[in-house]
Every structure is written in C-alpha cells, then in structure tokens.
C-alpha cells in the first residue's frame, strides 16, 4: 500500500509540476517587478571573484551572510573567523570544483559540494548559507535554498524532507521541474526557480497588485 508520505511519481508528479509552474511563472514576474535589480549585486560580485580565484575566503562568506541577512553573533562565526583564510579557501576550492563538475549530474555535484562545505564551522546542518556559497561558486548550475523555499515547496505539494542530503535532492527536484516544465521554463535556470519559490513562500498573495506587497527580501 502506498504511504501518504511517499513522493508522487509518474503522471501524478507531472500534474504537480504543471500546477507548480502555474504559480512559479507569475511569482518570478512579481519578484522581478518588486525586488531592486541591485539587491543581488553582492552575490554577483562574490560569484565574479570566485570565477577568478576558484575559491571563497572569509570575506566572501561574510558578504553572503549579509546578503542572506543572517546573524553574525553566533559561535560558528567566531570559529570560522579564527581559522586561517588559507584553510577556508582550501575547503571552498574543493567545493567549487565539485559543483562545477559537469561530468556528473547537477544533483550529484550539489551533494558532493554540500558535503565538502560541511567541513567548515557553521555548515554541518542547515542549507541556507551553504547553498548561497555553492550558488556563488556555480551560478548557472546551483540554487539557493532557505525556509521560504521550503514553505513554497510544501505549499505546492513537492516533497523535500530534511533528511541528510537535502541539498542534492533539492537540485534534483529543480531539475525535475525544468524537465516537466519545458513549455514554461524556456531560458530558466535553477536560480530562477529558487527566486520564484522564495517569492511564493514569502508572499502567499502574489496575485495582488505589486505595490500592495512591495518589500525588501530576506533571502
């Protein structure tokens, strides 16, 4: 007997994807209309530096903490700042190489990169900041995950459990959405989907006029 917690398969999953795209397309349009085009400049600048250096240092991670609007008054920040930057870069260089590896699937690359990042303080659990680092490392392949993305997935009936390996499964889910949404997703990247999911999770009434829910995003 099929359990109610089992993920949908086949035609059932395809139907879920179709319904999801009916939400994601207008959500992405609302996101682009309401969020300042300058908001992601920090992410883009970190990504550009990473493209040249092949790694992220403590300054890059600190910039992404601000971009994600996370608290820096935590023990893991102290532990990370106490590490030599050369060590941080040695770890992130391996993660960058992993997520840029096009000889494996996107989900496998994500899973490997996430496992490497877990070697740093503060990255053993939770995928929000880790996903931002991996997205800066491979902007066209990876995507950002946070609690609002999770809320949107739950609302859309798309299963993503918190079990170990969640980030890899998240990228597989985005790939599945792209596969089933070819009529909607022409030119979309995983990052485009994550912003649409974020806006869906942050703004339940996305159908209302943009000036009625304009806000600064908390990614």
Per-residue exposure over 172-201, b if at least 16 CB sit within 10 Å of its own CB, e if not: bbbbbbbebbeebbeebbbbbbbbbbbbbb
Evaluate if residue 219 carries a pLDDT over 50. no
What is the pLDDT at residue 213?
35
Evaluate if residue 2 carries a pLDDT over 50. no
Nearest-10 crossing angle of helices 85-99, 128-137: 70
The mean per-residue pLDDT over the stretch 41-45 comes to: 97
Mean pLDDT of the chain: 88
What is the pLDDT at residue 4?
41
Please compute Rg for the chain using Cα positions.
17
C-beta of residue 185 within 8 angstroms of C-beta of residue 177? yes
Task: Report pLDDT digits (tens) over 98-152.
Answer: 999 999 999 999 999 999 999 999 999 899 999 999 999 999 999 999 999 999 9
Evaluate if residue 156 carries a pLDDT over 90. yes
The mean per-residue pLDDT over the stretch 47-64 comes to: 97
Q: How many Cβ atoms sit within 10 Å of the Cβ of residue 71?
A: 7
Strands (E) across 3-67 are located at none
Nearest Cα neighbor of 145 from 201, 100, 188 is 201
Please enumerate in sequence order all residues whose Cβ is within 8 A of that of 61, keeping only pairs 6 or more positions apart, or say none.
80, 88, 129, 133
The mean per-residue pLDDT over the stretch 4-19 comes to: 72
The mean per-residue pLDDT over the stretch 181-199 comes to: 88
Q: Which long-range contacts (CB under 8 A, 24 or more apart) does 48-57 make?
A: 50/96, 50/136, 50/137, 53/89, 54/93, 54/96, 54/97, 55/89, 55/90, 55/92, 55/93, 55/96, 56/88, 56/89, 56/92, 56/96, 56/133, 56/136, 56/137, 57/85, 57/88, 57/89, 57/92
Strands (E) across the chain are located at none
Q: Which of 37-46, 138-147, 172-181 has the lowest mean pLDDT?
A: 172-181
pLDDT band at 9; cut points 50, 70, 90:
low
Please report, rounded to a whole number, the percentage of residues in the chain having pLDDT higher than 70: 88
Query: What is the DSSP code (8-state) at residue 7?
Result: P
69: left (phi over 0), alpha (psi -120 to 50) or beta: left
C-beta of residue 175 within 8 angstroms of C-beta of residue 106? yes
């Amino acid at each position: 007997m099929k359990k109610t917690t089992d993920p949908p398969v086949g035609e059932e999953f395809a139907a879920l994807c179709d319904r999801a795209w009916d939400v994601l397309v207008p959500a992405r349009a609302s996101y682009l209309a309401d969020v300042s085009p300058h908001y992601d400049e920090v992410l883009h600048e970190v990504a550009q530096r990473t493209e040249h250096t092949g790694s992220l240092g403590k300054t890059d991670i600190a910039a992404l903490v601000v971009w994600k609007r996370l608290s820096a008054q935590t023990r893991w920040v102290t532990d990370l700042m106490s590490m030599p930057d050369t060590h941080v870069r040695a770890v992130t260089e391996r993660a960058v190489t992993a997520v840029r590896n096009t000889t494996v699937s996107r989900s496998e690359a994500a899973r490997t990169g996430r496992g490497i990042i877990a070697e740093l303080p503060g990255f053993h659990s939770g995928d929000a900041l880790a996903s931002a680092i991996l997205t800066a490392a491979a902007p066209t392949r990876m995507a950002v995950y946070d609690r609002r993305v999770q809320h949107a997935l739950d609302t859309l009936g798309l299963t993503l459990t918190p079990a170990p390996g969640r980030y890899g499964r998240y990228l597989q889910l985005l790939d599945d959405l792209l596969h089933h949404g070819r009529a909607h997703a022409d030119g979309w990247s995983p990052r485009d989907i994550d912003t649409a999911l974020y806006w869906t999770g942050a703004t339940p009434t996305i159908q209302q006029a943009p000036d009625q829910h304009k806000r600064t995003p908390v990614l």
